[in-house]
């Protein structure tokens, strides 16, 4: 199989990206992979998880409108610089998320599809979590019904909320 970019060299780098449930595969030679933006591939460096994770932040990563000095600032808790995070591929402490919020937003969104962790519901004992989430949905519907002056619908939703809240006790 030959490189999809240059169509000359053998494809030795195979990338698979899944975005919004759609799978895209790329088959590239080492030279084209190293030039491809968004993924840093250096054939001189051996594969390692820290290099892979660090590459997720982009090879020429910069934040628009942010002074260059901000990229060299340090975390007030652990003293880690954003440039160090890019090299190591992991954060120094939990406070780094707050210290580098702007810098981490785009890479986390690109990697995970979202920048906010919503968590998973445990198989056992997760019923209460599901009930709480459903109550939250119903309360939002209740507010919308009141705003739209649909008071009968709002009363029905209110009763459902009270019934579900009694299940939690």
**pLDDT tens profile 101-140:** 888 787 777 777 766 666 676 777 777 888 888 999 999 9
The C-alpha torsion from 74 through 119 and 47 to 75, rounded to 10°, is: 0
| Over residues 50-63, mean pLDDT | 52
Distance CA 94, CA 79 (A): 12
H or E stretch at 106: helix 101-112
Distance CA 152, CA 141 (A): 13
Q: Does residue 159 or residue 32 have the better pLDDT?
A: 159
| 69, pLDDT greater than 60 | no
User: How would residue 67 be classed by pLDDT, with cut points 50, 70 and 90?
Assistant: very low
8 A C-beta contact, residue 103 and residue 120: no
**pLDDT tens profile 32-50:** 877 764 454 555 555 555 5
Q: What is the residue whose two structure tokens read 């975390």?
A: 75
User: How would residue 60 be classed by pLDDT, with cut points 50, 70 and 90?
Assistant: very low
The answer for residues whose C-beta is within 8 angstroms of residue 138's C-beta and 6 or more apart is 157, 160, 161, 164
| Over residues 135-149, mean pLDDT | 94
The answer for residues whose C-beta is within 8 angstroms of residue 77's C-beta and 6 or more apart is 92, 93, 94, 95, 96, 99
Tell me 128's DSSP state: H
Q: pLDDT value at position 107?
A: 76
Output the average pLDDT for the chain.
76
| 78, pLDDT greater than 50 | yes
Q: What's the pTM?
A: 0.36
Q: Does residue 152 or residue 13 have the better pLDDT?
A: 152
- Any idea where the domains of the chain sit in the sequence? 1-36, 46-112, 127-168
Give the residue among 68, 97, 72, 70 at the shortest CA–CA distance from 84. 72
The answer for residues whose C-beta is within 8 angstroms of residue 121's C-beta and 6 or more apart is 129, 130
Distance CA 54, CA 33 (A): 16
Tell me 124's DSSP state: S
Share of the chain above pLDDT 70, in %: 72
């Amino acid at each position: 199989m030959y490189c999809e970019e240059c169509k000359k060299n053998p494809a030795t780098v195979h990338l698979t990206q899944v975005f919004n449930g759609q799978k895209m595969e790329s088959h590239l030679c080492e030279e084209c992979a190293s030039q491809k933006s968004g993924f840093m591939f250096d054939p001189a460096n051996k594969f390692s998880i820290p290099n892979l994770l660090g590459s997720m932040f982009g090879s020429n990563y910069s934040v628009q409108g942010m002074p260059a000095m901000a990229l060299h600032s340090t975390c007030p808790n652990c003293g880690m610089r954003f440039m160090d995070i890019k090299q190591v591929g992991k954060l120094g402490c939990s406070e780094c998320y707050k210290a580098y919020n702007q810098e981490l937003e785009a890479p986390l969104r690109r990697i995970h599809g979202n920048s906010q962790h919503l968590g998973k519901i445990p198989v056992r004992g997760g019923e209460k979590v599901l009930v709480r989430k459903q109550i939250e949905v119903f309360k939002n519907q209740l507010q919308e019904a009141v705003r739209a002056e649909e008071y009968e619908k709002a009363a029905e939703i209110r009763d459902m909320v009270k019934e579900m809240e009694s299940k939690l006790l």
